[in-house]
Homo-oligomer: A and B are copies of this chain.
Amino acid sequence: MHQPKLDITAALVRGAGLISDICATAAAEHDLTVQQAQLLCVLAHGPVTMAQLGALLRITKSSTTGLVDRAEEANLVARNTQAHDRRSHTVHLTQAGDRIGTAYRALVTERIAALFQDVPGVELEVLRSALSRVVLTNQARENWPAAAESVA
């Protein structure tokens, strides 16, 4: 069977598709939606306010409300009113949310390692460092909590 060489655009777009598929599958295996999994990843670094959450996920405040509502109903997160400014609510992980989020990230890490198992270590390091620079240079998600283990 003829295997056409992928150009850089096709390789990146279809590679991104594989990564997205891994995240979606891993989320489903933990009974999470993709957005709930992202929420758990963001909150793994500590509580944030609704406004900060919307900025991090790049969705509107009303979308944020709905997402947190459903996650709260699923016992993954909880809200707290800030004492010093009672307009502001922080969101934090429940014990279950923390546990499930940790398991989700571990699964994604494992599946990605499996996907790239046949790529030589030297090439993998070039890929990692190049992507790393592109991601960190681009401020597309500039306010992202800057923890290296964040999987979202």
Contacts and interface: CB of A to CB of B under 8 A. Distances in A.
21 contacts: A2-B146, A5-B148, A6-B131, A7-B128, A7-B149, A8-B112, A9-B108, A9-B151, A10-B148, A10-B151, A12-B15, A12-B131, A13-B151, A13-B152, A14-B150, A18-B138, A115-B134, A118-B134, A123-B126, A124-B130, A127-B131
A1 to B, nearest CB: 8
A66 interface: no
Contact of A148 (B7, B123, B151): B7
A144 to B, nearest CB: 8
Contacts of A23: 13
Contacts of A62: none
B130 A10 contact: no
A17 interface: yes
A116 B21 CA distance: 23
Interface string A108-129: 1100110110110001101111
Contact of A134 (B7, B15, B128): B15
A74 interface: no
A16 B15 contact: yes
A20 B136 CA distance: 16
